[in-house]
Structure 1
Amino acid sequence: MGGMSIWHWAIVALVVVLLFGGGKLSGLMGDAAKGIKAFKQGLKDDDDDVKTKKPDEEPKA
């Protein structure tokens, strides 16, 4: 009881596709991928800033 079988997930996926349509769903996933790439690029930029900072500089508060 309480467990979700593969058939439950298949029905949920079918309902989602019917509600949102294939085009909207793929567009949403593309936007999510762009957001993840931008987040990773931001983390990389922050790491580069830390590595290039001179040791005698004090961090700004």
Structure 2
Amino acid sequence: MSIDKDLLDRLVEGRSPGDLFGKNGILSELTKALAERALNTEMTLHLDEERADGAPDEGNQR
């Protein structure tokens, strides 16, 4: 998988290094968003597997 170079160009266009790499920079925001998306996907898959296995419903679901 590769990231679209045009998308990256648009993300960094006109931004200073601080805007990109600072504490609240775009890199930090992208990392956070990607981690949250991955964790949500993992949780969804995990809960779907439990439901498919016929695990009893104990209230731990979305």
Equivalent residue, structure 2, for 1:31: 32
Greater helix content: 1
Equivalent residue, structure 1, for 2:20: 22
Q: Which has the larger Rg?
A: 1
Give a deviation string over 1:1-47, Cα, whole Å, max 9, x none.
xxxxxxxxx7xx756x35x6111111110100000000100110111
In the superposition, the TM-score normalised over structure 1's length comes to 0.55
- Percent identity, aligned pairs only? 4
Unaligned runs of 5+ in 2: 1-9
| Paired residue type of 2:34 | A
In the superposition, the TM-score normalised over structure 2's length comes to 0.54
For 1:44-55, list aligned pairs within 5 A.
Answer: 44-53=45-54
Name the count of aligned residue pairs: 46
Give the root-mean-square deviation of aligned CA atoms. 3.1
* Displaced runs of 4 or more, over 3 A: 57-60
Cα distance in structure 2, aligned partners of 1:48 and 1:28: 30
